[in-house]
Amino acid sequence: MIMNLHTHSHHSPDAQSDTVAQRLAYANSIGLRFLAITDHCEVNRMESAAFYGAEESEMCIYQNRKIAEASITETYAAKSIPSVCRLLCGVELGQIPQNPEGARAIYQDPRLDLAIGSVHELPDLPDFYFLDYSQYEIPVLITAYFEEVLKVAASDAYDILGHLTYGLRYLPDGNAYDITPHIPIIRDIFRTVIRNGKAIELNGSRLKNNPPTTEPDLRLLKLYREMGGKLLTVSTDAHQNEHVGLHLEQLEQLARDAGFSELTYFIRHQPFQTPL
Ligand SMILES: [Zn+2]
Ligand SMILES: [Zn+2]
């Protein structure tokens, strides 16, 4: 197993298990070669709830600057632990277009190897996980999602575009949703990522679902490759040790099926290729 460049440690509010050292020990035990810790930093909530005149809730976790700082500090320190698996210091920046300057400040932290740019929420809405889908015109909602992802793709505060199609993850019967009408904007997203020298990830979090799928799926991964996309990472978005190696070999095979012969890792935001 080559890499898992998207994992959450106990610093992420939705993970709360496994220190970085425990995660690295587990990665070594399964023979992983590259591991990134990428805890959440929702940049639209960097400060305290009081700062925004809001209240903390399960749906809205604040103080994301503190979460990122604690995670980056622990991960950077863990780089001195003797390890065959190479530990990369990362962060998952959510909602970059809602606070580009805050995102860039984190991105420029000299300890960071990589940043994933993700869209978990649309402006003034909670995470897609919490939406009541009966309240929305689904194609309108998904169009807004891809428009937000395009803004992330055009930003300068990420290295890897996170889990493309996350906006469909919690749709009732999301796997049946036809994305064909969204292909033009998805092409715009890929064109922007490629032009800016960034990567996308093949995220296997939804391989645990029934029916299983990936973000993006094989159709979109092939489209990215056909358009000239060369920079690709593989990840499971693990929130616990047991999910670090889960389906990784399947993801690597999917990448080969889409035409990739190399995967990408980042050191201090510089991409490096490794044979697949
Ligand atoms: Zn995410
Ligand atoms: Zn994640």
Split the chain (276 residues) into runs of 10 and give each run's mean pLDDT: 97 90 98 98 96 89 96 98 98 98 98 98 96 96 98 98 96 88 98 98 93 95 98 97 95 98 98 98
Tell me, what DSSP letter sits at residue 11? T
pLDDT of residue 210: 82
pLDDT of residue 209: 86
Listed residues: CB within 5 A of ion ligand 2: 92, 237
- Residue 117 Cα, ligand 1 centroid: separation in angstroms? 8
pLDDT of residue 16: 73
And the tokens for 36? 């990134």
210: left (phi over 0), alpha (psi -120 to 50) or beta: beta
Q: What burial class does residue 218 get, using C-beta atoms within 10 Å of its C-beta: 0-12 exposed, 13-18 middle, 19+ buried?
A: middle
Closest listed ligand to the CA of 90: 2
- Residue 139 Cα, ligand 1 centroid: separation in angstroms? 21
- Structural domains in the chain? 3-275 (3.20.20.140)
Closest listed ligand to the CA of 236: 2
Q: What burial class does residue 116 get, using C-beta atoms within 10 Å of its C-beta: 0-12 exposed, 13-18 middle, 19+ buried?
A: buried
Closest listed ligand to the CA of 167: 1
Closest listed ligand to the CA of 166: 1
- Residue 234 Cα, ligand 1 centroid: separation in angstroms? 14
Judge whether 236 and 203 are in contact, CB under 8 Å.
Answer: yes
The predicted model scores a pTM of: 0.97
Closest listed ligand to the CA of 39: 2
